[in-house]
């Protein structure tokens, strides 16, 4: 069997130019396949990390996002005291009332418009979301127009970097700190004092509340109490569930478009592999006849050509994976159609996806090699020896 493998590999080497074309062609298909998976997965990961399963988010009933939602100050105070919501040792509820807004910004370099997500909040936000921590500078002073920005905002919008001043609503806003939200969607947000944002955007109510639950399964209880209470007209969701739903169109677009296209041109690659293997069979017809005369079975012939084909696939798979691994350092920043604001996410590669890509490459090459290999195995000895080429 070892010898048999060597025979296949040497034949590939003998036709190395054709082999190279086929491998690179299939490798590109694997690359695109993987890139699409990585991007969709990166987006989902960013959103999936946004929010904590131990938190619940409260919105006005019927509102699909923070933009449509409102919760009055009075209600916010009462709601925070509900049972099932965690309290600090001093007896203060671990809850934060926030206002989600969007700011239209002209990017200095590209001169194009972009929407930044603003979150008017309080320092309690960091107690509710322990994974978000200040990375540089300091927090805003309550009651001032100081702001802190997420790691991706600082990267994508140089004009919103540390110590820079943004101006909107006829006021100047100084960036005094950068926070790191562990790769989650919060990294694409700007946080500041809720009252200052509300005044600037002429709002009188909060748009949402995020509360830390005593236990993750306290959600049912809190949901029950609050959604039934006629005073509030609220809907309660687990925080990560809410954020994950916020980029559905984008994730779907990446998946559907990407995989549809991958499917289409993987057929092209299979045809390419078939062509290469057909030529290999045609070229070696006499050789096949000789091998059969020497006593090799049809099965052995079939195996040789399948091994050859799958060696092509394996190389293509490795090539594609190698190429795709370079994408890991790339971050994409684009508008999220569901919210209209900018979101940044990267290409994320997991061992499972590597396995999937290799399997995909092997499958393509196996399907591609099957017909030529079968044809080779079916050749009659006399006929094979008699013809120089098919």
Partner 1 sequence: MTLGRLILRNTVRRPVRLLLTVGGLAMVVLAFGLIRLTLDQWQAGSRAALKNRLITVHAMSDELRLPLAYKDRLTVIPGARTVHFGAVFGGVYQDPKQSFGSFAEQASTFFETYPEVVLSDAERLAFQQDRRGCIIGHRLAARFGWKVGEAITLKGTVYPGDWELVVRGIFRSTSPNVMGEGELYLHWAYANERLKTTEPDRADQVGWFVVRAADGINGQTVAEAIDASFANSSAETRTESEQAYFAGWVARSGALLRGLEWMSGIINGIALLVLVNALAMAVRERTREYAVIKTLGFQPRHLVSLVLGESLLLALLGGGLGLVLLFPAAQLYAVMTQDRGYVSSYLITTETIGACLAVMLLVGLLAAVWPAIRLIRMTTLEGLRHAG
In the complex, the smallest distance separating the C-beta of residue 124 from partner 1, rounded to whole angstroms, is 24
Q: Which of 67, 353, 356, 366 binds partner 1 (CB under 8 A)?
A: 67
User: Among 147, 150, 179, which residue's Cα sits nearest to residue 163?
Assistant: 147
Number of residues lying near partner 1 (CB under 8 A): 64
User: Among 344, 347, 348, which residue's Cα sits nearest to residue 333?
Assistant: 344
- Report the alpha-carbon distance of residue 384 to residue 292 in Å, rounded: 9
Task: Give whichever of 129 and 345 is closer to partner 1, judged by the CB atom.
Answer: 345
Supply the DSSP symbol for 143. Answer: T
Stretch of 55-63, 142-150, 177-185, 213-221 contacting partner 1, by CB under 8 A: 55-63
Stretch of 50-58, 65-73, 134-142, 290-298 contacting partner 1, by CB under 8 A: 65-73
Q: Which of 22, 122, 210, 304 binds partner 1 (CB under 8 A)?
A: 22
Q: Does 40 sit near partner 1 (CB under 8 A)?
A: no
CA-based angle 160:161:165, to the nearest 5?
Answer: 55
* Phi/psi at 343 (5° precision): -140, 140
Q: Does 267 sit near partner 1 (CB under 8 A)?
A: yes
In the complex, the smallest distance separating the C-beta of residue 252 from partner 1, rounded to whole angstroms, is 6
Q: Which residues pair with 234 in a beta bridge?
A: 60
In the complex, the smallest distance separating the C-beta of residue 261 from partner 1, rounded to whole angstroms, is 5
Q: Which residues contact 376 (CB under 8 A, 6 or more apart)?
A: 281, 284, 288, 301, 302, 304, 305
Site map 195..224 versus partner 1, x via CB under 8 A: ------xx-x--------------------
Kindly write down the DSSP assignment for every residue of 214-276, as one continuous string: SSGGGHHHHHHHHHH-TTT-EEEEEHHHHHHGGGHHHHHHHHHHHHHHHHHHHHHHHHHHHHH
Q: Does 102 sit near partner 1 (CB under 8 A)?
A: yes
Instruction: Return residues touching partner 1 (CB under 8 A).
Output: 17-18, 21-22, 24-25, 28-29, 31-32, 35, 39, 60, 62-64, 67-68, 70, 101-104, 110, 112-115, 168-170, 201-202, 204, 248-249, 252-254, 256-257, 260-261, 264-265, 267-269, 271-272, 274-276, 278-279, 332-335, 337, 340, 342, 388-389
């Amino acid at each position: 069997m070892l010898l048999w493998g060597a025979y296949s590999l040497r034949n590939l080497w003998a036709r190395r130019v054709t082999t190279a074309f086929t491998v690179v062609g299939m490798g590109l298909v694997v690359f695109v396949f993987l890139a699409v998976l990585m991007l969709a997965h990166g987006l989902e990961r960013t959103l999936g990390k946004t929010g904590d399963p131990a938190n619940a988010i409260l919105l006005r009933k019927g509102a699909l996002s923070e933009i449509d939602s409102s919760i009055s100050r009075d209600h916010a105070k009462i709601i925070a005291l509900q049972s099932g919501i965690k309290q600090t040792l001093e007896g203060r509820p671990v809850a934060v009332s926030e206002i989600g807004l969007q700011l239209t910004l002209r990017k200095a370099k590209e001169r194009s418009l972009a929407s930044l997500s603003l979150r008017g909040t309080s320092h309690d936000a960091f107690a509710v979301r322990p994974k978000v921590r200040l990375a540089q500078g300091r927090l805003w002073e309550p009651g001032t127009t100081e702001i802190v920005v997420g790691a991706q905002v600082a990267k994508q919008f140089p004009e919103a970097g540390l110590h820079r001043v943004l101006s909107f609503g006829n006021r100047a806003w100084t960036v005094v700190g950068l926070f790191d939200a562990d790769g989650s969607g919060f990294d694409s947000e700007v946080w500041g004092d809720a009252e200052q944002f509300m005044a600037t955007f002429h709002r009188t109510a909060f748009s949402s509340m995020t509360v830390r639950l005593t236990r993750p399964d306290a959600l049912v209880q809190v949901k029950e109490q609050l959604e039934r209470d006629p005073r509030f007209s609220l809907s309660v969701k687990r925080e990560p569930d809410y954020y994950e739903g916020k980029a559905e169109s984008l994730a779907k677009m990446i998946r559907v478009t990407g995989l549809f296209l991958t499917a289409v041109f993987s057929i092209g690659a299979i045809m390419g592999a078939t062509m290469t293997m057909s030529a290999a069979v045609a070229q070696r017809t006499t050789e096949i006849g000789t091998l059969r005369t020497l006593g090799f079975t049809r099965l052995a012939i079939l195996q040789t050509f399948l091994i050859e084909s799958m060696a092509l696939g394996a190389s293509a798979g490795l090539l594609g994976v190698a190429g795709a691994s370079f994408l890991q350092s790339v971050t994409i920043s684009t508008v999220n159609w569901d919210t209209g604001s900018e979101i940044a996410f990267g290409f994320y590669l997991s061992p499972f996806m590597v396995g999937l890509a290799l399997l995909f490459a092997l499958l393509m090459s196996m399907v591609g090699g099957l017909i030529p290999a079968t044809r080779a195995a079916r050749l009659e000895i006399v006929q094979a020896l008699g013809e120089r080429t098919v």
